Each structure stands twice: as C-alpha cells, then as structure tokens.
Amino acid sequence: MELQNRVAIVTGASGGIGSATARELAEAGTRLVLAYHHGGERAEALAAEIRARGGECTVAQADVSTKEGAGILAKTAVEAYGGIDILVNNAGVTRDGLFLRMKEEDWDQVIDTNLKSVFLCSQAASKYLMRSAYGRIINIGSVVGLTGNAGQANYVAAKAGLVGLTKTLARELAARKVTVNVIAPGYITTRMTESIAPELSEKMAEQIPLGRLGQPGDVAALIRFLAGDRASYITGQVLQVDGGLVM
C-alpha cells in the first residue's frame, strides 16, 4: 500500500490500459477518480470491482478535450478526497488514414483528445498537485511518437507533441516537487488493437525482440512505479514499454 490515501485521476479509465492502471493504483492504496467520456458501463463496472476489493473510487464523465471537462475532473477529485496527488493522462483515440486523404475533423479529434486534453487536465490539476508537495503527472504516449508511422499522421503528431509537452512541464513544475514523465507503449493488446487480423498480430510479434505483444498490465506496472516514492528523482523522461521494439 505504498500509495495509501494518495488521490489519483485516471483519464480514459474505461479502456484497457486505463482499467489496468486503476486496478494497480487501487491495490497500492490510492483513492481514485475514474474518468471516461464514452463507456460508462465499463467504468461503473470497474468502480464496483475496486470497491468490492476495499478500494475507494468515484466515477466522472467528462470530455477532457475541453476546458470544462478537465475542470470537472479536478473539481470531482477535490470535492471527493480533498486534493490531487497523481494525474494519469491516458485518454486517447485513433482515426487512421493516409495523410493525403485524412479529413480535417479526424486530425482535430485526435489532436484534441490525445494532446490538448493533456494540456487542459494538467493545467486544471497543477495547482492541487503543487500543493501536495508530492505531485505526479504521468502521460501515456506511444513509440510511434518517436518513430513515425504511415497512416497515422494525426496520432503520431499528437504523441510526438506529448513528448515535448512532458519535458516542458517537467521543467516548469520541478521547483514544486511535481514530476512529469511520459510512457511510450509499443504494441499493446487492448480494444483499440482487437480489430487487427491475427496474422498481422503474429507479424507484429515477430518484430519484437521479446516475441510477444504487450499487455495493459505491463504499462500499468510502470505507472504504479512512477506514481510512487521510489520514482521521486525521475522527471522529464520518455520510458518505453515495447518489448525492445524501438531501441
């Protein structure tokens, strides 16, 4: 229970990495705000599971790509638990397509959800994080933000921008003992990747030195570490969870 009574917001909590993260942080003793935009039934089921195991959590619906939505999450955490110690910016979407054919609305939606939301949620939470003398911001990026990927100009741009935003926030907030890091997962088995044909998944696994696709728990375990005391001297870093795919 290394995070006993710490307060954490997890965006995109109804997704694979989000729900695995919520379970890890609950096991470590945090009091959780599970944020979702779509997938309310999954979020409520996750909350019921955590409570059944003795954890504390509340569920909040919000569009984190808007200032209003980000404010709702900060307000929910403060009203329910008195502050904010940890923010996990995990919300994300994909709208893939070749660059020359990509619609402007697909570009905007991915940038707003995957990058703008991190700016807004971090801004809304920062005054409470700075007061805690402990604050942690953990952003979920992607290895494609480091390498590029055909057919994902919008997603790659958002994840690459997240690296720069993370490093800037790490510099600005360091004086208040707030650490800011970004995790760059590789191929992780989630609902977002379920539509990939089995033969393509096999080809992906062949490219990975460890020989398998990642699981949400592989990412969640690192989030739990970064949220804890033992990671207090780590900030402004990009940490890859990719089985050795990008070296």
Task: Give the domain ranges of the chain.
Answer: 7-241
Predicted local distance difference test score (pLDDT) of residue 191: 73
Residues 46-81: pLDDT tens digits? 999 999 999 999 999 999 999 999 999 999 999 999
Predicted local distance difference test score (pLDDT) of residue 14: 92
Q: Which residues are catalytic?
A: 155
Find, among 82, 93, 106, the residue nearest to 36 by Cα. 93
Predicted local distance difference test score (pLDDT) of residue 133: 84
Annotated binding residue 156: yes
Predicted local distance difference test score (pLDDT) of residue 9: 98
Annotated binding residue 233: no
Looking at the DSSP assignment, which residues form a beta bridge with residue 136?
86, 179
pLDDT beyond 90 at 92: yes
Annotated binding residue 155: yes
Residues 141-199: pLDDT tens digits? 999 999 999 999 999 999 999 999 999 999 999 999 999 999 999 999 987 666 666 77
Predicted local distance difference test score (pLDDT) of residue 39: 84
CATH topology of domain 7-241: Rossmann fold (3.40.50)
pTM (two decimals): 0.96
Task: Kindly state the average pLDDT of the residues 100-128.
Answer: 98
Contacting residues for 194 by C-beta, under 8 A, at least 6 apart:
none
Annotated binding residue 81: no
Q: Which two tokens stand for residue 200?
A: 């393509």
Predicted local distance difference test score (pLDDT) of residue 195: 65
Predicted local distance difference test score (pLDDT) of residue 144: 97
Q: What is the 3-state secondary structure (H, E, C) of 57-84?
A: EEEEECCCCCHHHHHHHHHHHHHHHCCC
Predicted local distance difference test score (pLDDT) of residue 240: 98
pLDDT top residue among 201 and 122: 122
Predicted local distance difference test score (pLDDT) of residue 55: 97
Annotated binding residue 89: no
